[in-house]
Structure 1
Amino acid sequence: MSDILIGRQQILDSHQNIYAYEILFRGQDFDLSHKDEAADATNQVITDTLLEIGLNELVGPGKAFINFTARNLLEKTPLSLPKDRIVIEVLENITIDQAIIDALKEFSRQGYTIALDDFVLKPEWLPLLKIADIIKLDIKAMPLPKTLALIEKLKRFSLTLLAEKVETHAEFEALKAAGCMLFQGFFFSKPHLVSGKRLSVNQAAAIRLLTKINQPEVGFDELGNIISHDVGLSYKLLRYINSAFFSLPNKIESIKHALTYLGMNEIKRWINILTLTSLSNKPNALFQQILIRGKMCELLAKQYNEAPEHLFLIGLLSSLDSLLDIPLEEALNQLPLTEDVYQAILHHSGIGGEILSYVICYERWELSSKHFSQISPKNIGQIYLQSISWADDVLDNINC
């Protein structure tokens, strides 16, 4: 049996902070349309990935939503997992009978959190409303007014409502106002900034940079490492070096290249100005996915003997349209990027573009692409998990 791929998708609260992750089977060893194979896929996720890799590495301090089939529930599979770290997600295609109801009652009595996936108000599901803790509403399964009407009907139960497949800011605001407390969907992977078009810098990161620049014998590598860990710092550095009073002999290939060109005195001037003007009130979840993307691009570059710093910059800047709320081409045109970096980000051309394209497909669990088929699923999974761990460490260090 070949190695599997694991997907995870953020579940956020109404402030867009990470509440949990849904963990998804993304391998090719099982046909999920068959009940027994779907149950085996869940067991594969648990035994070969979650328990071996560790929940902390995969989801941090949050909970993991795991899909369970009828067979998984009747075999009492959830009891092998810590009740304070998982959410039992009951799939919508399960036939509800007394055996299923009794199993869920047992899980609830033992303190497990239960979520009903893609919920539709049908008579056979009514008994579960007294057992479940979370209701997941697929907002694409029906028009938004019908979803809002269903939310009103569910308010008489003691339930937390989770809206999934949220794709726009308008949907998010309407569902939040209606009473949903948790959210999931592509909207949060490409966050919409309501006000302004200027990318904020994490203030703690800027202060850390200011402290480092005033230490004796500080090197470009140390400064580049700090700046690369914050997309705002990276963007503002490149904008600064592209300003009218610098005459660039060559285009910039990496953050270290930019720092070396500026020289230490000019870097100190830039950091002093930046620290005084930087403010940050953005949730970490907005930047986490960007850091993961950049790191995955970097690690995949090493597999092909490509310059890792080069690919990290491509991954880091590929979400500027979401962060700045302007077209990607407009954002890139403000930066002094080499042509291959520009084309890789905007048109996914060249090896850098292929790597970026694959990473974006992996984020969205659209894995039909044949790029990088020579890298085993196990290695891809390890790269993804390493990127998650790195991004979490970066955010922890920035906010300490």
Structure 2
Amino acid sequence: MNKEKNDNNLILVTFARLPIFDAKKNLWGYELVYLSCDDKYIAPSRQNQTMTADFAAGTSLAIEQMLDKGKKIMVNFSQQNILDNLPYALPPGRTVIKITDPGPLDSLAPTLEKLKADGYQITVNWTHTTCQDIFEPADIICQDISGMGVPDLDCIYTKTVPYGALLLANRVQDQIGFDVCRRAGFSLFQGAFFKQPEDVSVKKMLSATISKFHLMEAMEQKDPDFSKLAAAIQADVAISYRLLSHLNSASFGFRQKIDSIKDAITMLGWHNLKNWLRVVLLAEVSENKHASELIFLSAQRGKFLEQICQDHDFWGFEPDSLSLLGIFSLLDALLNRPMGEIVKYLPLSDTLKGALCMEDNNEYVPFLKLARSFEEAEFDRSDAMMNQLGLDTTKVKLAYGGALDWANKFCEMQK
């Protein structure tokens, strides 16, 4: 999360990072959508009134922490932002400028030409307008495909071909939508489709996967026998190797080498170690090519929901239960299996299992929906949900920013 200070108060800023995939479902990059933690979501069309050079410079620091080298970042800028040269605060070669208020670009054309020459790319939303010159500088043309059928998509492709730009399909919700858009000629895809299981089957669960679930069950005991637990973790060669390599890295800086899982529990503390192990176990059982992004989201959801619970103790929920709910909420996509089959193996209460299956009237389900609304930058929806749930909006937004940072740092250590 990025922090920016003015003369009067501290302005807290964070982002939703929306992954963008290519036609082979490889991660192409992210769109970063701005969210002020002490105010409501600022629509891109109004960001020119609030976005400053200091904010843009801070953004550059944030994305260097968040994103892998070589991945693109797409950031919204108004025409005025561009005339003020704010994109130059972000790294060329990686930054894609998304123009939020397309219109006649006569006054903007020289600036866009220079930006492109300096290594920046341009994205414009497709719009039915007689002012076609707005698409001339575009490297990418973006289209919200909500409610569109094949004829609509084919028509858009035909009309955009003369500009030589890549087509990005936004709000692709499922695998069917992805396939339809890909066949229609779209090259880039954004939406919740990657969170859905692919080729869901009821094939037999692998014994190695079941053993990981048994380890999870041992970890989630209220009063675990740490000697037995350490032995169980030590017996899993892959998990114990990753754990000990992680703890003996320079990022921890322990003076003496940690040679056993029992020592690791003592040095790191069980609560911290358990959070790490939960996410590592997800990585070990994953059968999805989007595993890295799904694991990031799982870690982020777990931390986000845990922090919400800690900040709103009047709900009576246990922070650890909310953490588990978030971490396990994408297991169906990670394993490409129905969630109803997976929950049979999970060390969870029936209520939490019902929430993972998105059962109606389940008291935990609104929290999963809230997490999804943040992830997908549906901030109008998240504001309404926070009000409905009686949550402190500033605390929730800060929790989201903190979870984003925590998940990013955690995933960095797994590389």
TM-score (norm 2): 0.68
Q: What is aligned with 1:57?
A: 65
Task: Trace 1:344-363 onto structure 2 (pairs within 5 A).
Answer: 344-345=355-356, 346=358, 355-363=367-375
C-alpha distance after superposition, 1:312-351 (max 9, x if no partner): 222122233444555544532454422453355445856x
Q: 1:178 to 1:75 in 2, by over 3 A?
A: same
> Residue 218 and residue 141 in structure 1: after superposition, are their counterparts in 2 closer, same or farther (change >3 A)?
closer
The equivalent position to 1:124 in structure 2, one of 126, 131, 135, is 131
Whether 1:218 aligns to 2:261 is yes
The answer for the alignment partner of 2:179 in structure 1 is 173
Match of 2:226 in 1: none
Q: Distance in 2 between matches of 1:195 and 1:292?
A: 25
**Are residues 1:367 and 2:382 paired?**
yes
Q: 1:177 to 1:340 in 2, by over 3 A?
A: closer
Change (3 A) 1:231 1:169: farther
1:41–1:321 Cα change, 3 Å: farther
Amino acid of the structure 1 residue aligned with 2:12: D
1:196 is matched with which residue: 192, 201, 224?
Answer: 201
Report the residue type matching 1:164 in the other structure: N
Q: Which segments of 5 or more consecutive residues in structure 1 lack a partner in the other structure?
A: 237-277
**Aligned positions, number:** 345
Equivalent position of 1:270 in the other structure: none
Equivalences for residues 96-135 of structure 1 within 5 A = 96-117=104-125, 119-120=126-127, 122-125=129-132, 127-135=133-141
Query: Take 2:184 and 2:366, find their aligned partners in 1: how far apart are those partners?
Result: 41
2:301 counterpart SS class: helix
1:341 aligns with 352
User: Do the aligned partners of residues 208 and 334 (structure 1) sit closer, same or farther apart at CA in structure 2, a change above 3 Å counting?
Assistant: closer
Residue equivalent to 2:231: none
Q: Structure 2 residue aligned with 1:15, among 18, 21, 24?
A: 24
Q: In structure 2, do the counterparts of structure 1 residues 98 and 157 end up closer, same or farther at CA, with 3 Å as the change threshold?
A: closer
Residues 8 and 145 of structure 1: CA distance in aligned 2, closer, same or farther (over 3 Å): same
The residue matched to 1:120 in structure 2 has which SS? coil
C-alpha distance after superposition, 1:110-161 (max 9, x if no partner):
22111112x1354413x34442211112222643322123213433443222
SS class of match (1:360)? helix
Q: Which SS does the other structure have where 1:73 is aligned? A: helix
The whole-number CA distance in structure 1 between the counterparts of 2:294 and 2:44 is 36
Following superposition of structure 1 onto structure 2, how do residues 312-351 of structure 1 map, counting pairs within 5 Å?
312-324=323-335, 328-345=339-356, 346=358
Structure-2 residue corresponding to 1:298: 306
| Shift, 1:71, TM fit | 1.5
Deviation, structure 1 residue 90:
1.2
- The aligned amino acid for 2:197 is H
Aligned amino acid, residue 330 of structure 2:
S
Is the contact made by 2:35 and 2:42 (CA closer than 8 Å) also made in structure 1? no
Alpha-carbon distance between aligned partners in 1 of 2:99 and 2:393, rounded to the nearest angstrom: 36
Query: Secondary structure of 1:94's partner?
Result: coil
8 Å contact from structure 1 (residues 42, 67) kept in 2: no
Match of 1:384 among 403, 407, 410: 403
In the other structure, the counterpart of 1:209 is: 239
State the SS of the aligned residue for 1:99.
Answer: coil
Distance 1:213 1:30 in 2: 40
Q: Distance in 1 between matches of 2:57 and 2:27?
A: 25
Kept after mapping to 2: 8 A contact 1:87/1:115: yes
Q: Secondary structure at the match of 1:367?
A: helix
Contact 1:136/1:162, CA 8 A, preserved across alignment: yes
CA change 1:102–1:322 in 2 (3 A) is: same
- C-alpha contact 2:143 2:168 (8 A) present in aligned 1: yes
Shift in CA distance, 228/11, structure 1 to aligned 2, threshold 3 Å: same
Q: Distance in 2 between matches of 1:181 and 1:374?
A: 37
Structure 2 residue aligned with 1:85: 94
User: 1:87 deviation in Å?
Assistant: 0.9
Percent identity (aligned): 21
Partners of 2:354 and 2:147 lie apart in 1 by 37
Aligned counterparts of 1:320 and 1:212: Cα–Cα separation in 2:
21
Decide which of 145, 152, 155 is 2:158's aligned counterpart.
152
8 Å CA contact 1:291, 1:316 repeated in 2: yes
Shift of 1:195: 5.2
